[in-house]
Amino acid sequence: MLTRWMIRLPLCAFVVAAGAMLASGLAPGANGEPATAVTSICIGVFNLLALGFGIVAAAGPNTDRRSRRAWLLLVGVFVLLAISGAAFAHGLADGKLELDEAMIGYAVRMATVPVLMAGVLSFPRQPPTRQQRQRLVLDMVMVVMGGLMLLWYSIVGAAMNRGISDAAWASVLFPLCDLFLIFGVGAVLLRGSPTAHRPLVFLIGGLAFYLVVDLMSTNAMLSGSSDVTLGSSIDYLVLAAMALVALAAAAGAARGWTRADRPAARSVVRTGLLRPAWLKRPGWLARPGSGGGEGRPVTMLPYLALAVGYASLFLGEVRNGVDESDVMVFAAIVLTGTVGLRQVLAMRESHRLVVTDSLTGLANRRRLRDNLDRAIDQGRRTGEPVAVLLIDLDGFKEINDELGHAAGDAVLVHFASVLSRQVRGSDTAARLGGDEFAVVLTGMTGADAGHLAQRVLDAAREPVTVAGRTLPIRASIGVAVSEPCGTEARDLLHRADVAMYRAKRQQTHTWQLFSGTEAEPRLDVPVAHAA
Protein backbone atom coordinates (compact mmCIF):
# COMPACT_ATOMS: atom_id res chain seq x y z
CA MET A 1 0.00 0.00 0.00
CA LEU A 2 2.82 2.40 0.89
CA THR A 3 4.62 1.86 -2.40
CA ARG A 4 1.44 2.71 -4.30
CA TRP A 5 1.32 6.12 -2.68
CA MET A 6 4.97 6.71 -3.42
CA ILE A 7 3.97 6.84 -7.08
CA ARG A 8 0.69 8.65 -6.55
CA LEU A 9 2.05 11.42 -4.31
CA PRO A 10 3.96 13.33 -7.04
CA LEU A 11 0.95 13.04 -9.35
CA CYS A 12 -1.41 14.41 -6.72
CA ALA A 13 1.09 17.14 -5.81
CA PHE A 14 1.32 18.19 -9.46
CA VAL A 15 -2.46 18.54 -9.74
CA VAL A 16 -2.60 20.62 -6.53
CA ALA A 17 0.40 22.78 -7.50
CA ALA A 18 -0.89 23.43 -11.01
CA GLY A 19 -4.27 24.36 -9.56
CA ALA A 20 -2.67 26.74 -7.06
CA MET A 21 -0.61 28.40 -9.79
CA LEU A 22 -3.66 28.71 -12.02
CA ALA A 23 -5.71 30.22 -9.19
CA SER A 24 -2.98 32.76 -8.41
CA GLY A 25 -2.83 33.68 -12.10
CA LEU A 26 -6.58 34.30 -12.20
CA ALA A 27 -6.49 36.55 -9.15
CA PRO A 28 -7.26 40.27 -9.74
CA GLY A 29 -4.20 42.10 -11.05
CA ALA A 30 -2.30 38.92 -11.88
CA ASN A 31 -2.44 39.49 -15.66
CA GLY A 32 -2.96 35.77 -16.19
CA GLU A 33 0.47 34.83 -14.80
CA PRO A 34 0.92 32.79 -11.61
CA ALA A 35 2.28 34.66 -8.63
CA THR A 36 6.05 34.42 -8.22
CA ALA A 37 5.82 33.30 -4.60
CA VAL A 38 3.34 30.53 -5.43
CA THR A 39 5.51 29.30 -8.30
CA SER A 40 8.63 29.25 -6.13
CA ILE A 41 6.85 27.35 -3.36
CA CYS A 42 5.44 24.75 -5.76
CA ILE A 43 8.81 24.13 -7.40
CA GLY A 44 10.43 23.95 -3.96
CA VAL A 45 7.93 21.28 -2.90
CA PHE A 46 8.91 19.09 -5.85
CA ASN A 47 12.58 19.62 -5.09
CA LEU A 48 11.93 18.31 -1.57
CA LEU A 49 9.87 15.39 -2.90
CA ALA A 50 12.63 14.38 -5.30
CA LEU A 51 15.23 14.67 -2.55
CA GLY A 52 13.18 12.68 -0.05
CA PHE A 53 12.27 9.91 -2.48
CA GLY A 54 15.89 9.72 -3.65
CA ILE A 55 17.04 9.10 -0.08
CA VAL A 56 14.28 6.52 0.42
CA ALA A 57 15.30 4.76 -2.81
CA ALA A 58 18.95 4.62 -1.72
CA ALA A 59 17.97 3.22 1.69
CA GLY A 60 15.55 0.61 0.34
CA PRO A 61 16.16 -2.97 1.55
CA ASN A 62 15.73 -4.27 -2.01
CA THR A 63 18.13 -1.74 -3.53
CA ASP A 64 21.33 -3.43 -4.68
CA ARG A 65 24.78 -1.92 -4.12
CA ARG A 66 25.18 -0.36 -7.56
CA SER A 67 21.67 1.08 -7.54
CA ARG A 68 22.28 2.52 -4.06
CA ARG A 69 25.39 4.29 -5.34
CA ALA A 70 23.42 5.61 -8.30
CA TRP A 71 20.62 6.95 -6.10
CA LEU A 72 23.09 8.64 -3.75
CA LEU A 73 24.58 10.48 -6.72
CA LEU A 74 21.08 11.44 -7.87
CA VAL A 75 20.35 12.71 -4.36
CA GLY A 76 23.32 15.01 -4.91
CA VAL A 77 21.67 16.15 -8.15
CA PHE A 78 18.42 16.89 -6.32
CA VAL A 79 20.33 18.92 -3.72
CA LEU A 80 21.99 20.95 -6.48
CA LEU A 81 18.63 21.49 -8.18
CA ALA A 82 17.18 22.73 -4.88
CA ILE A 83 20.10 25.17 -4.46
CA SER A 84 19.71 26.33 -8.05
CA GLY A 85 15.97 26.83 -7.59
CA ALA A 86 16.55 28.81 -4.39
CA ALA A 87 19.08 31.01 -6.18
CA PHE A 88 16.65 31.70 -9.01
CA ALA A 89 13.87 32.45 -6.53
CA HIS A 90 16.15 34.91 -4.72
CA GLY A 91 16.93 36.63 -8.02
CA LEU A 92 13.27 37.12 -8.86
CA ALA A 93 11.84 40.59 -8.58
CA ASP A 94 8.43 41.63 -9.85
CA GLY A 95 8.17 38.48 -11.97
CA LYS A 96 11.51 39.13 -13.67
CA LEU A 97 14.75 37.26 -13.31
CA GLU A 98 17.73 39.57 -12.88
CA LEU A 99 20.61 37.80 -14.58
CA ASP A 100 23.34 39.25 -12.37
CA GLU A 101 21.63 37.93 -9.25
CA ALA A 102 20.94 34.50 -10.75
CA MET A 103 24.41 33.54 -11.97
CA ILE A 104 24.83 31.28 -8.94
CA GLY A 105 21.72 29.41 -10.04
CA TYR A 106 23.13 28.94 -13.54
CA ALA A 107 26.49 27.74 -12.24
CA VAL A 108 24.90 25.24 -9.84
CA ARG A 109 22.58 24.01 -12.59
CA MET A 110 25.60 23.32 -14.82
CA ALA A 111 27.19 21.33 -11.98
CA THR A 112 24.27 18.89 -12.06
CA VAL A 113 25.23 17.62 -15.53
CA PRO A 114 28.31 15.50 -14.66
CA VAL A 115 26.79 14.33 -11.37
CA LEU A 116 23.54 13.23 -13.04
CA MET A 117 25.42 11.43 -15.80
CA ALA A 118 27.60 9.64 -13.25
CA GLY A 119 24.52 8.58 -11.32
CA VAL A 120 22.72 7.22 -14.37
CA LEU A 121 25.81 5.31 -15.50
CA SER A 122 26.05 3.71 -12.03
CA PHE A 123 22.81 1.76 -12.41
CA PRO A 124 23.26 -1.97 -13.10
CA ARG A 125 23.24 -2.68 -16.80
CA GLN A 126 24.91 -4.84 -19.38
CA PRO A 127 28.55 -3.69 -19.22
CA PRO A 128 29.64 -1.96 -22.44
CA THR A 129 32.80 -2.92 -24.26
CA ARG A 130 35.60 -0.45 -24.84
CA GLN A 131 34.46 0.05 -28.43
CA GLN A 132 30.89 0.67 -27.29
CA ARG A 133 32.05 3.32 -24.81
CA GLN A 134 34.08 5.04 -27.50
CA ARG A 135 31.14 4.95 -29.90
CA LEU A 136 28.85 6.40 -27.22
CA VAL A 137 31.22 9.34 -26.70
CA LEU A 138 31.37 10.02 -30.44
CA ASP A 139 27.58 9.76 -30.72
CA MET A 140 27.15 12.27 -27.90
CA VAL A 141 29.51 14.69 -29.64
CA MET A 142 27.45 14.37 -32.84
CA VAL A 143 24.20 14.99 -30.97
CA VAL A 144 25.52 18.08 -29.16
CA MET A 145 27.08 19.52 -32.33
CA GLY A 146 23.89 18.94 -34.31
CA GLY A 147 21.92 20.68 -31.58
CA LEU A 148 24.41 23.56 -31.58
CA MET A 149 24.03 24.05 -35.34
CA LEU A 150 20.23 24.07 -35.07
CA LEU A 151 20.36 26.44 -32.09
CA TRP A 152 22.77 28.70 -33.91
CA TYR A 153 20.61 28.83 -37.02
CA SER A 154 17.27 29.32 -35.25
CA ILE A 155 18.22 31.58 -32.33
CA VAL A 156 21.84 32.65 -31.96
CA GLY A 157 22.55 33.73 -35.54
CA ALA A 158 19.66 36.19 -35.60
CA ALA A 159 20.87 37.80 -32.37
CA MET A 160 24.50 38.23 -33.42
CA ASN A 161 23.93 41.62 -35.03
CA ARG A 162 22.31 43.00 -31.87
CA GLY A 163 25.16 42.02 -29.60
CA ILE A 164 25.00 39.28 -26.98
CA SER A 165 25.94 39.54 -23.31
CA ASP A 166 28.18 37.00 -21.59
CA ALA A 167 25.25 35.66 -19.57
CA ALA A 168 23.23 35.19 -22.75
CA TRP A 169 26.12 33.30 -24.33
CA ALA A 170 26.24 31.05 -21.26
CA SER A 171 22.53 30.28 -21.60
CA VAL A 172 23.24 28.52 -24.92
CA LEU A 173 24.96 25.74 -22.96
CA PHE A 174 21.80 24.66 -21.15
CA PRO A 175 19.81 23.18 -24.06
CA LEU A 176 23.00 21.52 -25.31
CA CYS A 177 23.51 19.92 -21.90
CA ASP A 178 19.87 18.80 -21.93
CA LEU A 179 20.44 17.05 -25.27
CA PHE A 180 23.60 15.47 -23.91
CA LEU A 181 21.76 14.11 -20.86
CA ILE A 182 18.72 12.90 -22.81
CA PHE A 183 20.95 10.94 -25.15
CA GLY A 184 23.06 9.54 -22.30
CA VAL A 185 20.06 8.45 -20.22
CA GLY A 186 18.42 6.97 -23.32
CA ALA A 187 21.55 4.98 -24.11
CA VAL A 188 21.61 3.49 -20.60
CA LEU A 189 17.86 2.80 -20.72
CA LEU A 190 18.02 0.93 -24.02
CA ARG A 191 21.10 -1.05 -23.02
CA GLY A 192 18.92 -2.63 -20.36
CA SER A 193 18.84 -1.50 -16.74
CA PRO A 194 16.17 -3.69 -15.09
CA THR A 195 16.35 -1.98 -11.69
CA ALA A 196 15.97 1.54 -13.10
CA HIS A 197 13.84 1.19 -16.21
CA ARG A 198 10.81 3.18 -15.01
CA PRO A 199 12.81 5.87 -13.13
CA LEU A 200 14.90 6.49 -16.25
CA VAL A 201 11.79 6.80 -18.42
CA PHE A 202 10.38 9.47 -16.10
CA LEU A 203 13.79 11.16 -15.93
CA ILE A 204 13.96 11.43 -19.72
CA GLY A 205 10.51 13.02 -19.67
CA GLY A 206 11.68 15.59 -17.13
CA LEU A 207 14.79 16.36 -19.18
CA ALA A 208 12.64 16.85 -22.28
CA PHE A 209 10.59 19.48 -20.44
CA TYR A 210 13.81 21.11 -19.22
CA LEU A 211 15.00 21.23 -22.84
CA VAL A 212 11.88 23.15 -23.89
CA VAL A 213 12.23 25.52 -20.92
CA ASP A 214 15.90 26.17 -21.67
CA LEU A 215 15.19 26.81 -25.35
CA MET A 216 12.51 29.36 -24.43
CA SER A 217 14.76 30.99 -21.83
CA THR A 218 17.73 31.14 -24.21
CA ASN A 219 15.58 32.72 -26.90
CA ALA A 220 14.37 35.34 -24.42
CA MET A 221 17.87 36.11 -23.18
CA LEU A 222 19.25 36.44 -26.71
CA SER A 223 16.46 38.85 -27.63
CA GLY A 224 18.53 41.70 -26.21
CA SER A 225 16.75 42.33 -22.93
CA SER A 226 18.73 42.37 -19.70
CA ASP A 227 16.29 40.15 -17.90
CA VAL A 228 13.98 37.25 -18.57
CA THR A 229 10.27 37.58 -17.89
CA LEU A 230 8.98 34.38 -16.35
CA GLY A 231 5.68 33.89 -18.12
CA SER A 232 3.04 31.36 -17.16
CA SER A 233 4.04 28.92 -19.93
CA ILE A 234 7.59 28.56 -18.61
CA ASP A 235 6.32 28.26 -15.04
CA TYR A 236 4.07 25.32 -15.89
CA LEU A 237 6.78 23.64 -17.96
CA VAL A 238 9.26 23.91 -15.08
CA LEU A 239 6.62 22.48 -12.75
CA ALA A 240 6.02 19.54 -15.12
CA ALA A 241 9.77 18.92 -15.38
CA MET A 242 10.19 18.86 -11.61
CA ALA A 243 7.12 16.63 -11.21
CA LEU A 244 8.62 14.05 -13.58
CA VAL A 245 11.96 14.19 -11.78
CA ALA A 246 10.16 13.62 -8.46
CA LEU A 247 8.17 10.80 -10.09
CA ALA A 248 11.44 9.17 -11.20
CA ALA A 249 12.69 9.24 -7.61
CA ALA A 250 9.34 7.93 -6.35
CA ALA A 251 9.48 5.01 -8.80
CA GLY A 252 12.96 4.14 -7.52
CA ALA A 253 11.77 4.35 -3.92
CA ALA A 254 8.76 2.14 -4.65
CA ARG A 255 11.01 -0.49 -6.21
CA GLY A 256 13.49 -0.38 -3.35
CA TRP A 257 10.78 -0.94 -0.74
CA THR A 258 8.53 -3.43 -2.54
CA ARG A 259 8.38 -6.71 -0.67
CA ALA A 260 10.21 -9.51 -2.42
CA ASP A 261 7.26 -11.88 -1.98
CA ARG A 262 4.87 -9.96 -4.20
CA PRO A 263 5.11 -8.28 -7.58
CA ALA A 264 6.23 -4.68 -7.59
CA ALA A 265 3.56 -3.72 -10.05
CA ARG A 266 0.67 -3.63 -7.62
CA SER A 267 0.53 0.10 -8.14
CA VAL A 268 -1.07 2.66 -10.39
CA VAL A 269 1.18 1.48 -13.19
CA ARG A 270 -0.63 -1.84 -13.28
CA THR A 271 -3.98 -0.10 -13.44
CA GLY A 272 -2.93 1.63 -16.64
CA LEU A 273 -2.91 5.15 -15.16
CA LEU A 274 0.72 5.70 -16.07
CA ARG A 275 1.05 3.27 -18.97
CA PRO A 276 -2.18 2.53 -20.81
CA ALA A 277 -2.27 -0.11 -23.51
CA TRP A 278 -2.03 2.41 -26.35
CA LEU A 279 1.30 3.65 -24.95
CA LYS A 280 3.02 0.29 -25.18
CA ARG A 281 6.22 0.24 -27.18
CA PRO A 282 5.50 -0.34 -30.88
CA GLY A 283 7.45 -2.95 -32.78
CA TRP A 284 9.72 -0.47 -34.56
CA LEU A 285 10.80 0.91 -31.19
CA ALA A 286 11.39 -2.46 -29.58
CA ARG A 287 14.61 -3.16 -27.79
CA PRO A 288 17.21 -5.16 -29.64
CA GLY A 289 16.38 -8.83 -29.69
CA SER A 290 12.85 -8.38 -28.39
CA GLY A 291 9.89 -10.07 -29.92
CA GLY A 292 8.61 -6.75 -31.21
CA GLY A 293 11.60 -5.77 -33.33
CA GLU A 294 15.29 -5.17 -33.55
CA GLY A 295 15.56 -1.40 -33.79
CA ARG A 296 17.66 0.72 -31.48
CA PRO A 297 16.24 4.25 -31.51
CA VAL A 298 19.13 5.70 -29.53
CA THR A 299 21.59 4.73 -32.27
CA MET A 300 19.54 6.73 -34.76
CA LEU A 301 19.86 9.95 -32.76
CA PRO A 302 23.41 10.80 -33.94
CA TYR A 303 22.31 10.46 -37.56
CA LEU A 304 19.30 12.63 -36.85
CA ALA A 305 21.65 15.19 -35.31
CA LEU A 306 23.79 15.04 -38.45
CA ALA A 307 20.73 15.62 -40.62
CA VAL A 308 19.59 18.54 -38.47
CA GLY A 309 23.05 20.10 -38.59
CA TYR A 310 23.32 19.89 -42.36
CA ALA A 311 19.75 21.11 -42.82
CA SER A 312 20.58 24.15 -40.68
CA LEU A 313 23.71 24.75 -42.75
CA PHE A 314 21.80 24.48 -46.03
CA LEU A 315 18.97 26.76 -44.89
CA GLY A 316 21.50 29.29 -43.66
CA GLU A 317 23.19 29.32 -47.06
CA VAL A 318 19.85 29.74 -48.83
CA ARG A 319 18.85 32.56 -46.50
CA ASN A 320 22.11 34.40 -47.20
CA GLY A 321 21.76 34.02 -50.97
CA VAL A 322 22.72 31.22 -53.35
CA ASP A 323 26.19 31.27 -54.92
CA GLU A 324 28.66 28.78 -56.39
CA SER A 325 29.75 27.53 -52.96
CA ASP A 326 26.23 26.28 -52.28
CA VAL A 327 26.69 23.53 -54.88
CA MET A 328 29.60 22.19 -52.83
CA VAL A 329 27.52 22.42 -49.65
CA PHE A 330 24.65 20.54 -51.30
CA ALA A 331 26.99 17.84 -52.63
CA ALA A 332 28.57 17.44 -49.17
CA ILE A 333 25.13 17.05 -47.61
CA VAL A 334 24.08 14.37 -50.10
CA LEU A 335 27.41 12.55 -49.79
CA THR A 336 27.35 12.54 -45.99
CA GLY A 337 23.70 11.52 -45.90
CA THR A 338 24.33 8.62 -48.25
CA VAL A 339 27.29 7.40 -46.21
CA GLY A 340 25.24 7.72 -43.02
CA LEU A 341 22.33 5.75 -44.49
CA ARG A 342 24.68 3.02 -45.66
CA GLN A 343 26.18 2.87 -42.17
CA VAL A 344 22.73 2.54 -40.59
CA LEU A 345 21.86 -0.37 -42.89
CA ALA A 346 25.19 -2.07 -42.20
CA MET A 347 24.74 -1.57 -38.45
CA ARG A 348 21.27 -3.14 -38.51
CA GLU A 349 22.53 -6.10 -40.50
CA SER A 350 25.46 -6.58 -38.11
CA HIS A 351 23.15 -6.49 -35.11
CA ARG A 352 20.79 -8.97 -36.75
CA LEU A 353 23.65 -11.39 -37.33
CA VAL A 354 24.80 -11.09 -33.72
CA VAL A 355 21.42 -12.04 -32.22
CA THR A 356 20.15 -14.48 -34.88
CA ASP A 357 20.85 -18.14 -35.51
CA SER A 358 22.39 -18.26 -38.98
CA LEU A 359 20.79 -21.57 -39.98
CA THR A 360 17.17 -21.17 -38.92
CA GLY A 361 16.75 -17.39 -38.68
CA LEU A 362 15.42 -17.73 -35.12
CA ALA A 363 16.89 -15.90 -32.16
CA ASN A 364 20.13 -17.31 -30.82
CA ARG A 365 21.09 -18.19 -27.24
CA ARG A 366 22.25 -14.66 -26.40
CA ARG A 367 19.07 -13.01 -27.62
CA LEU A 368 16.90 -15.55 -25.81
CA ARG A 369 18.67 -14.94 -22.50
CA ASP A 370 18.46 -11.16 -22.86
CA ASN A 371 14.74 -11.34 -23.63
CA LEU A 372 14.11 -13.82 -20.82
CA ASP A 373 15.83 -11.58 -18.27
CA ARG A 374 13.81 -8.62 -19.50
CA ALA A 375 10.53 -10.54 -19.48
CA ILE A 376 11.10 -11.77 -15.92
CA ASP A 377 11.88 -8.27 -14.69
CA GLN A 378 8.75 -6.94 -16.39
CA GLY A 379 6.75 -9.79 -14.88
CA ARG A 380 7.89 -8.77 -11.39
CA ARG A 381 6.56 -5.27 -12.05
CA THR A 382 3.28 -6.25 -13.72
CA GLY A 383 2.50 -9.52 -11.96
CA GLU A 384 2.23 -11.34 -15.30
CA PRO A 385 3.75 -14.83 -15.51
CA VAL A 386 6.57 -15.76 -17.87
CA ALA A 387 6.64 -19.22 -19.43
CA VAL A 388 9.49 -21.07 -21.12
CA LEU A 389 9.22 -23.96 -23.56
CA LEU A 390 12.33 -26.11 -23.94
CA ILE A 391 12.18 -28.37 -27.00
CA ASP A 392 14.37 -31.29 -28.03
CA LEU A 393 13.91 -33.15 -31.33
CA ASP A 394 13.72 -36.91 -30.78
CA GLY A 395 15.84 -39.10 -33.04
CA PHE A 396 17.72 -36.20 -34.60
CA LYS A 397 21.13 -37.83 -34.08
CA GLU A 398 20.03 -40.84 -36.12
CA ILE A 399 18.96 -38.55 -38.99
CA ASN A 400 22.37 -36.89 -38.97
CA ASP A 401 24.19 -40.23 -38.85
CA GLU A 402 22.16 -41.91 -41.61
CA LEU A 403 21.47 -39.06 -44.04
CA GLY A 404 24.22 -36.58 -43.28
CA HIS A 405 24.36 -33.08 -41.83
CA ALA A 406 22.68 -31.48 -44.86
CA ALA A 407 19.55 -33.53 -44.18
CA GLY A 408 19.76 -32.69 -40.48
CA ASP A 409 19.98 -28.99 -41.31
CA ALA A 410 16.89 -29.29 -43.52
CA VAL A 411 14.97 -30.85 -40.62
CA LEU A 412 16.07 -28.04 -38.29
CA VAL A 413 15.02 -25.36 -40.77
CA HIS A 414 11.63 -27.04 -41.26
CA PHE A 415 10.96 -27.30 -37.54
CA ALA A 416 12.06 -23.69 -37.01
CA SER A 417 9.50 -22.64 -39.61
CA VAL A 418 6.81 -24.67 -37.83
CA LEU A 419 7.74 -23.13 -34.49
CA SER A 420 7.75 -19.56 -35.83
CA ARG A 421 4.21 -19.93 -37.17
CA GLN A 422 2.85 -21.03 -33.79
CA VAL A 423 4.26 -18.30 -31.50
CA ARG A 424 3.08 -14.71 -31.20
CA GLY A 425 5.07 -11.79 -32.53
CA SER A 426 5.78 -10.63 -28.97
CA ASP A 427 7.28 -14.02 -28.00
CA THR A 428 10.84 -15.13 -28.65
CA ALA A 429 11.55 -18.41 -30.42
CA ALA A 430 15.22 -19.43 -30.39
CA ARG A 431 17.57 -22.22 -31.34
CA LEU A 432 19.97 -22.93 -28.50
CA GLY A 433 22.21 -25.17 -30.57
CA GLY A 434 22.05 -28.62 -32.15
CA ASP A 435 18.46 -29.85 -32.05
CA GLU A 436 17.49 -27.80 -28.99
CA PHE A 437 14.98 -24.97 -29.23
CA ALA A 438 13.35 -22.66 -26.70
CA VAL A 439 10.48 -20.19 -26.57
CA VAL A 440 9.94 -17.31 -24.11
CA LEU A 441 6.24 -16.54 -23.60
CA THR A 442 5.01 -13.46 -21.75
CA GLY A 443 1.67 -13.22 -19.97
CA MET A 444 0.92 -16.95 -20.29
CA THR A 445 -0.20 -19.30 -17.55
CA GLY A 446 0.84 -22.93 -17.41
CA ALA A 447 -2.37 -23.97 -19.15
CA ASP A 448 -1.86 -21.42 -21.95
CA ALA A 449 1.75 -22.51 -22.43
CA GLY A 450 0.63 -26.14 -22.48
CA HIS A 451 -1.89 -25.40 -25.23
CA LEU A 452 0.83 -23.73 -27.27
CA ALA A 453 3.17 -26.69 -26.74
CA GLN A 454 0.46 -29.03 -28.00
CA ARG A 455 -0.10 -26.84 -31.07
CA VAL A 456 3.62 -27.01 -31.84
CA LEU A 457 3.56 -30.80 -31.54
CA ASP A 458 0.46 -31.06 -33.74
CA ALA A 459 1.97 -28.80 -36.40
CA ALA A 460 5.26 -30.71 -36.35
CA ARG A 461 3.53 -34.07 -36.66
CA GLU A 462 3.32 -33.75 -40.45
CA PRO A 463 6.31 -35.58 -41.98
CA VAL A 464 8.95 -33.75 -44.01
CA THR A 465 10.67 -35.07 -47.14
CA VAL A 466 14.46 -34.88 -46.92
CA ALA A 467 16.99 -36.48 -49.29
CA GLY A 468 14.23 -38.47 -50.93
CA ARG A 469 12.96 -39.89 -47.66
CA THR A 470 9.85 -38.98 -45.72
CA LEU A 471 10.78 -38.42 -42.10
CA PRO A 472 8.49 -37.90 -39.11
CA ILE A 473 9.45 -35.12 -36.72
CA ARG A 474 9.01 -35.98 -33.07
CA ALA A 475 9.77 -33.69 -30.18
CA SER A 476 9.72 -33.54 -26.40
CA ILE A 477 8.74 -30.24 -24.80
CA GLY A 478 9.24 -29.10 -21.23
CA VAL A 479 7.15 -26.21 -19.90
CA ALA A 480 7.96 -24.06 -16.87
CA VAL A 481 6.17 -20.95 -15.58
CA SER A 482 7.56 -18.28 -13.28
CA GLU A 483 6.21 -17.83 -9.77
CA PRO A 484 4.16 -14.73 -8.81
CA CYS A 485 7.12 -13.16 -7.02
CA GLY A 486 9.38 -13.86 -9.99
CA THR A 487 11.80 -16.65 -10.82
CA GLU A 488 15.41 -16.28 -11.87
CA ALA A 489 16.09 -17.01 -15.53
CA ARG A 490 18.52 -19.81 -14.73
CA ASP A 491 16.01 -21.54 -12.45
CA LEU A 492 13.23 -21.21 -15.01
CA LEU A 493 15.39 -22.77 -17.72
CA HIS A 494 16.42 -25.62 -15.40
CA ARG A 495 12.80 -26.34 -14.52
CA ALA A 496 11.83 -26.43 -18.19
CA ASP A 497 14.78 -28.76 -18.78
CA VAL A 498 13.64 -31.15 -16.05
CA ALA A 499 10.12 -31.19 -17.50
CA MET A 500 11.53 -31.80 -20.98
CA TYR A 501 13.53 -34.85 -19.86
CA ARG A 502 10.45 -36.15 -18.13
CA ALA A 503 8.56 -35.85 -21.44
CA LYS A 504 11.47 -37.44 -23.29
CA ARG A 505 11.36 -40.52 -21.08
CA GLN A 506 7.76 -41.15 -22.16
CA GLN A 507 8.82 -41.32 -25.84
CA THR A 508 5.36 -40.29 -27.02
CA HIS A 509 5.89 -36.93 -28.81
CA THR A 510 4.48 -35.04 -25.84
CA TRP A 511 5.00 -32.17 -23.43
CA GLN A 512 5.23 -31.95 -19.65
CA LEU A 513 4.67 -29.05 -17.26
CA PHE A 514 7.07 -28.58 -14.35
CA SER A 515 4.87 -28.97 -11.30
CA GLY A 516 7.38 -28.54 -8.51
CA THR A 517 7.13 -32.17 -7.44
CA GLU A 518 10.08 -33.23 -9.58
CA ALA A 519 13.54 -33.48 -8.14
CA GLU A 520 15.59 -30.31 -8.19
CA PRO A 521 17.30 -29.73 -11.54
CA ARG A 522 20.72 -31.27 -11.96
CA LEU A 523 23.56 -28.80 -12.26
CA ASP A 524 25.02 -30.73 -15.19
CA VAL A 525 21.98 -30.69 -17.46
CA PRO A 526 23.25 -30.07 -20.96
CA VAL A 527 20.47 -28.12 -22.57
CA ALA A 528 20.28 -24.56 -21.27
CA HIS A 529 23.63 -24.18 -19.53
CA ALA A 530 22.08 -21.05 -18.07
CA ALA A 531 21.73 -19.96 -21.70
Residue range 149-193, pLDDT digits in tens: 777 766 666 566 656 666 666 777 888 888 888 878 877 776 666
What pLDDT digit, counting tens, does each position of 99-150 carry?
Answer: 555 677 778 888 888 999 898 888 887 666 677 777 777 777 777 777 777 7
What pLDDT digit, counting tens, does each position of 364-391 carry?
Answer: 888 888 888 888 888 877 778 889 999 9
Mean pLDDT computed over 92-102: 56
The C-alpha atoms of residue 489 and residue 509 are separated, in whole angstroms, by 26
In a domain, 258, yes or no: yes
In a domain, 492, yes or no: yes
381 and 487, same domain (yes or no)? yes
CATH number at residue 484: 3.30.70.270
403 and 264, same domain (yes or no)? no
Q: What is the pLDDT of residue 498?
A: 92
Domain boundary among 239, 271, 303: 271
Confidence class for position 263, pLDDT limits 50, 70, 90: very low
The total of other beta-carbon atoms located within 10 Å of residue 456's CB is: 24
The residue segments making up the domain with residue 21 are 1-124+227-271
Q: What is the mean pLDDT of the chain?
A: 75
In a domain, 337, yes or no: no
The C-alpha atoms of residue 26 and residue 41 are separated, in whole angstroms, by 18
263 and 412, same domain (yes or no)? no
Report pTM. 0.58
Is there a contact between 418 and 355 (Cβ–Cβ < 8 Å)? no
In a domain, 239, yes or no: yes
In a domain, 316, yes or no: no
What Cα–Cα distance (Å) separates residue 100 from each residue in 87, 176, 228, 231? 11, 22, 11, 19
503 and 375, same domain (yes or no)? yes
114 and 12, same domain (yes or no)? yes
237 and 377, same domain (yes or no)? no
503 pLDDT more than 70: yes
Closest CA to 304 of 424, 123, 404, 182: 182
485 and 379, same domain (yes or no)? yes
Confidence class for position 73, pLDDT limits 50, 70, 90: very high
520 pLDDT more than 60: no
Mean pLDDT computed over 14-36: 70
In a domain, 487, yes or no: yes
Confidence class for position 76, pLDDT limits 50, 70, 90: very high
382 and 496, same domain (yes or no)? yes
370 and 474, same domain (yes or no)? yes
In a domain, 496, yes or no: yes
What pLDDT digit, counting tens, does each position of 313-339 carry?
Answer: 666 666 666 555 565 666 666 666 666
Is there a contact between 329 and 314 (Cβ–Cβ < 8 Å)? yes
Q: What is the pLDDT of residue 125?
A: 73
Is there a contact between 221 and 193 (Cβ–Cβ < 8 Å)? no
In a domain, 164, yes or no: no
CB neighbours of 483 closer than 8 A, spacing ≥ 6?
Answer: none
Mean pLDDT computed over 285-292: 40
Q: Is 492 exposed, middle or buried (0-12, 13-18, 19+ CB in 10 A)?
A: buried
Domain tally for the chain?
2
